[in-house]
Chain A
């Protein structure tokens, strides 16, 4: 406890945002992967040579076994890039990462869409304050990747400036106010029964059918599945009103309730 306060700390521990390439595996073929990446490295060595990459296995129908993942990692390495971890996917991915001694890199918008292997979805812009890690990691669920399986996360009272609440794999219900500079994030829906003065990001893992409901709307930012809107000026017809927010295609829509 006191170690964190001692003036003679051995280090500073901080979370920051770093650019990191994401290698999304579409089929388990180490040789093809190596070839493809080599071509990229050759075409832009300044950009890709020895760059840190994260292996994203979320677009594979079935998670490959440890040996196959090892081969993929080796393929990335021999192409001249440096794999540093696995992208966050399901609890199986988490178990795999643990077995391989690799970190799991959580993203704000990890695209976990098990069946859509064909086309990668367009990369949605990520708000600057996307969490660099998954706060309050819970024990992995036994059932692989049940979306919003555990009911909702309830937060009674105010979320203060600088605080961040993340409801992983579920909805988030806040009975108080979310202050300016506070952030509420959920993989499912977000309900705020007080005022929303800070930021709310629903569908944080890419679920486009997530919604945000706010009793008293004065938000700085709302986002669903990575599509976001910043409010420099709160529209007069929404300010202080009960508002819902949803996604239609690529468009983030807001309306009074």
Chain B
């Protein structure tokens, strides 16, 4: 039994890769899977903050890659889910500290330890860190914001996923590509300020696996170190739940795409 490797990538920075990695990993763990989530953003580590385990990092990904610590020592068990582990990036090194053999060794080690899913949180860009994060992947979640520069960068990433990965090089069949639209604001789409789901699907030629609405709770959750998927009351949290279910093969309709109708009191008092 080998672990399914999912890379969360985008090309562009600030679109929600780490937020998505944290929620995706947590969601898969809530579905009963044994999950590890790895921060590939060496030098700019964030995932530990979003997962709320920044004070428990002793050994990191680079230590394991260099054989300075074992996988067991470095994996941080999530405080809420027993079957969820975090492998933090090193803040003091740079991306050249990762090697392809080292990453392969870590991923093989996780497979041997019986992990079902490994979520790789890719750094922005298309340089070495991003390349290594996607190289061994079976699935790719391409995070895209509904604006033109993000869509362009995602297009580039989709091209790289189809050519510069182990599956592509070996001809093992294509990586499963999932497009995740984040920071979606139905109001701004209605006003014509933002690309719609259909625009993005048309330009990129693939369908979305989920649409995460722009939500204040995402920032609040990040700052408090709780993946937003755990906030059952937020639309973003619910949308991430739907997304995880779809990645696991369930069919669910897209939600939160329409402009919310104002209630009677809001119409009277404004707001």
Are B159 and A5 touching (Cβ within 8 A)? no
> Closest CB-CB distance, B243 to chain A, in whole Å?
23
User: Is residue B203 within 8 Å, beta carbon to beta carbon, of the partner chain?
Assistant: yes
Q: Return chain B residues, CB-CB under 8 Å to A134.
A: none
8 Å CB contact of A181 from B132, B155, B205: B155
Number of interface residues of A (CB under 8 A): 20
Q: State whether the Cβ of A67 lies closer than 8 Å to any Cβ in chain B.
A: no
Question: Does the CB pair A161–B152 fall under 8 Å?
Answer: yes
**Chain B window 167-210, contacts with chain A (Cβ cutoff 8 Å), 1 for yes, 0 for no:** 00100000000000000000000000000000000011100000
Decide: A181 and B156 in contact? CB cutoff 8 A.
Answer: yes
Q: A6-B99, A7-B96 are in contact. Are A160 and B155 (CB under 8 A)?
A: yes
User: Which of B96, B101, B128, B203 has the most chain A CB within a 10 Å cutoff?
Assistant: B203
Let me know if B155 and A179 touch, CB within 8 A: yes
Closest approach, in angstroms, between the C-beta of B213 and any C-beta of chain A?
Answer: 26
Interface of A is mostly: loop
The residues of B that contact A62 with a CB separation of less than 8 Å are none
Residues of A within 8 A of B12 (CB): none
Number of residues from B at the complex interface, CB < 8 A: 20
Which residue of A has the minimal Cβ distance to B153? A161
Q: Is B133 an interface residue when CB atoms closer than 8 A count as contact? A: no
Name A68-86 residues within 8 Å CB distance of B. none
B residues neighboring A (CB under 8 Å)? 96, 99-101, 128, 131-132, 152-153, 155-156, 158-160, 162-163, 169, 203-205
A158 close to chain B: CB less than 8 A: yes
CB contacts between A and B, total, < 8 Å: 48
Q: Which residues of chain B have C-beta atoms less than 8 A from A1's C-beta? A: 100, 169
- Can you list the 9 inter-chain pairs with the closest CB atoms, starting with the nearest? A160-B159, A7-B96, A161-B155, A161-B156, A158-B205, A179-B155, A162-B156, A2-B100, A163-B159
Complex Cα gap A5–B128 (Å): 7
List of A residues within 8 angstroms of B128 by Cβ: 5, 7
Contacts of A162 in B (CB 8 A): 156, 159-160
Contact residue among A6, A7, A160, A197 (Cβ-Cβ distance under 8 Å from B158): A160
Q: Which residues of B contact A51 (CB under 8 A)?
A: none
Residue of A whose beta carbon sits closest to that of B148: A180
Chain B CB within 10 A, most for which of A2, A6, A158: A158
Known: A160-B159, A162-B156. A5 touches B205 (CB 8 A): no
CA–CA, A178 and B152, complex, Å: 12
Given the interface pairs A160-B158, A161-B159, A179-B203, the reply to whether A5 lies near B152 with Cβ below 8 Å is no
A 147-173 binary contact with B (CB < 8 Å = 1; else 0):
000000000011111110000000000
Q: How far is the CA of A159 from the CA of B101 in the complex (A)?
A: 31
User: Nearest chain-A residue to B128 (Cβ)?
Assistant: A5
Q: How far is the CB of B112 from chain A (nearest CB, A)?
A: 22
Complex partner residue of B156 from A5, A157, A160, A194, CB under 8 angstroms? A160
Q: Which residue of A lies closest to B157 (CB)?
A: A160
A207 proximal to B (CB < 8 A): no
User: Provided the pairs A160-B158, A181-B155 are in contact, do residues A176 and B205 lie with their beta carbons within 8 angstroms?
Assistant: yes
The chain A residue sitting closest to B96, CB to CB, is A7
A177 interfacial by beta-carbon distance below 8 Å: yes
Interchain CB contact under 8 A, B100 and A5: yes
| Minimal Cβ-Cβ distance residue in A for B166 | A1
